[in-house]
Structure 1
Amino acid sequence: MGYSCFTLLLSLAIFFFSFRQSSADLIRQTCKATKYYDLCVSTLKSDSSSPKADGAKALALIAVRAAAANATATNAYLSAQMLSAAASDMRAALKECADRYALASEALKSSSLDLSNEMYDYAYMHVMAAADYPSGCRGAFKRAPGLLIPPEMALREDGLKRICDVVLGIIDALA
């Protein structure tokens, strides 16, 4: 009886190890289709639902959620910065940026729905829009004399564009 219990536990351990291995292989294989392999792998591996992913579409949905979380966090950051900005030009530029990140977040939510419905062209279009919305922040700062885009904003813009590029690579592989 003890032997069969041990055999069962060993079999279960091997099964779970092979499942983990195959999900890691799926992530690596999927990320090869993207522009930022390391970002793709780290983003997907950091999500607790990745081991349950049954294909590239599920991984694309995880990456879209990560991009949407990025856009939402940046919107919240900008909203907080608006409250502490002394100059009205700075507040106006930050508000425009916050609005653009809100639009990016909405576009990514639409992309998620499109992916779920296997409407890959629409999903791609929404992710492209999400990646482009933040570039309007630079214009908002350029229009105000003497304002420069804060370095933190440039980093956040680049981060969203990169994760969107990852999503676009996965969608390309799906289509």
Structure 2
Amino acid sequence: MTRIVLLFVLFSLNYRAHADLIADTCKKSEYPDLCNSTLRSDPRSAEADATGLARIVLEAALIKASTTFDQVKKLLSKTTEPVLKKCLTACTDLYESILEEIPKAIQNAGPDKNEAIHQGDLAITDADTCEGIFSDGPNKRKSPFTANNIAVQHLVAIAEHILASLG
């Protein structure tokens, strides 16, 4: 009976330590609510170290980027308006790059955090550029992807913050 109680206590302490890691990590983030919701929605977070948490957030960013890329392509296939077509074509190219950069960031999150952060910076810039394309020039319009572009940028920024804190 003592062993069962001891195992329960150890399990509880381990769970609490990981819960504290997520809470501590996210409260230092620029986007704590998004950080918390992203990490707490993924069961792998309970056992992950800080590098693992960064990878989980980058994987969430990759999913959002992939969804956005599909939406851009879908809208591009339906539009005939020249200015919109030009904007969407540019965003397609940018999201193709993002879909290469984020996996490189994930791959480098452990062995080379500086390279992971660099790849993340490229992805953030590309998502920001996609957003800005719609407000450039004389034919300004609202981007249909604002929420997605921001989500990709914020998720990658959270992961970069986690990686940068690893020292």
TM-score band by shorter chain is 0.7 to 0.9
Answering whether residue 38 of structure 2 is matched by residue 69 of structure 1, we say no
Matches within 5 A, 1:110-125: 110-117=104-111, 119-125=112-118
Deviations 1:70-96 (A, max 9, x none): 111111111111122231332231121
User: Could you tell me which residue of structure 2 aligns to residue 57 of structure 1?
Assistant: 51
Q: Is the 8 A contact 1:33 1:173 kept in 2?
A: no
Aligned residue in 2 for 1:47: 42
Tell me the secondary structure at the aligned position of residue 165 of structure 2. helix
Q: Whole-Å Cα distance in 2 between the matches of residues 159 and 50 of structure 1?
A: 19
Determine which structure has more spread, i.e. the larger CA radius of gyration.
1
| Contact 2:127–2:150 (8 Å) recurs in 1 | no
CA shift for structure 1 position 132: 0.7
In 2: Cα distance, 1:173 partner to 1:69 partner: 24
Moved more, 162-171 or 131-140: 131-140
Partner of 2:153 in structure 1? 161
Asked if residue 32 in structure 1 is aligned to residue 35 in structure 2, the reply is: no
Q: In percent, how many aligned pairs have the same letter? A: 25
Larger deviation, residues 14-23 vs 57-66? 14-23
Letter in 2 for 1:146: N
Tell me what 2:134 maps to: 141
Give unpaired runs (5+ residues) of structure 2: none
**TM-score using structure 1 length:** 0.83
- Asked if the contact 1:108–1:127 (Cα under 8 Å) also holds between the matched residues in 2, the reply is yes
Measure, in 2, the Cα distance between the counterparts of 1:153 and 1:21.
Answer: 38
* Alpha-carbon distance change, 16 to 108 in structure 1, aligned in 2, over 3 angstroms: same
Give distance in 2, aligned partners of 1:138 and 1:30. Answer: 28
For 1:140 and 1:35, how far apart are their aligned partners in 2?
A: 25
**1:89-120 CA deviation, whole Å, 9 max, x = no partner?**
32231121122122112111111111131x11
Q: Give ranges in structure 1 of 5+ residues lacking alignment.
A: none
Instruction: Output the CA distance in 1 between the equivalents of 2:131 and 2:20.
Output: 39
> Which amino acid counterpart does residue 90 of structure 2 have in structure 1?
E
CA shift in 2, pair 1:80/1:26, >3 Å: same
- Alpha-carbon distance in structure 2 between the residues aligned to 1:94 and 1:30: 36
